[in-house]
């Protein structure tokens, strides 16, 4: 690949990240996506965090995507059965997944992990707690 081919994808990714973290006073756009201020996400519920942070790659229904990268489906995902797995990935990253949990509080990480584990065809109801997150950090 040439630099000319790679550059647009890098700019798109950088633009998306800058938009997500832009100092905009935590405004919500017409789709209900929250734009955060500084280096921390401001959305609080698992649903809002998923829509603002995760859906860009894993898609709105958790179906995943393939294109400029591979974004695994979260829908009907047996890897989510043990709450420690998505918790670890959120905090420490895995392969192409960045450690987005570092930009969230313990409560936010627990909320989004629990949301993903109980939506998109997943029915894992044992909750991850903020204390679980703190001990995994």
CATH number of domain containing 40: 1.10.760.10
Alpha helical stretches, state H, 1-137: 3-21, 46-49, 55-58, 84-92, 106-117, 130-136
Give the H/E segment covering residue 70.
strand 70-71
Q: Is the pLDDT of residue 120 over 80?
A: yes
The residue range of the domain holding 116 is: 3-136
Question: Would the CA dihedral through 28, 33, 39, 43 be positive or negative?
Answer: positive
CA distances from 49 to 5, 72, 110 (A): 31, 18, 11
Tally of domains within the chain: 1
Per-residue pLDDT, averaged over 105-121, amounts to: 97
SS3 71: strand
Decide: pTM greater than 0.85. Answer: no
pLDDT tens readout for residues 59-81 = 999 999 998 889 999 999 999 99
pLDDT tens readout for residues 32-64 = 555 566 678 888 999 999 999 999 999 999 999
């Amino acid at each position: 690949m040439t630099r000319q081919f790679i550059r647009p994808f890098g700019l798109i990714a950088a633009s998306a990240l800058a938009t997500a973290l832009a100092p905009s006073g935590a405004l919500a756009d017409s789709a209900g996506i929250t734009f955060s201020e500084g280096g921390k996400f401001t959305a609080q519920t698992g649903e809002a965090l998923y829509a603002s942070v995760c859906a860009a790659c894993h898609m709105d229904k958790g179906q995943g995507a393939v294109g400029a990268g591979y974004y695994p489906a979260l829908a009907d995902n047996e890897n989510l059965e043990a709450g420690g797995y998505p918790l670890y990935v959120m905090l420490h990253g895995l392969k192409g997944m960045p450690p987005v949990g570092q930009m969230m509080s313990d409560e936010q990480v627990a909320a989004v992990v629990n949301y993903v584990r109980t939506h998109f065809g997943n029915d894992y109801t044992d909750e991850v707690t903020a204390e679980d997150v703190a001990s995994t950090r």
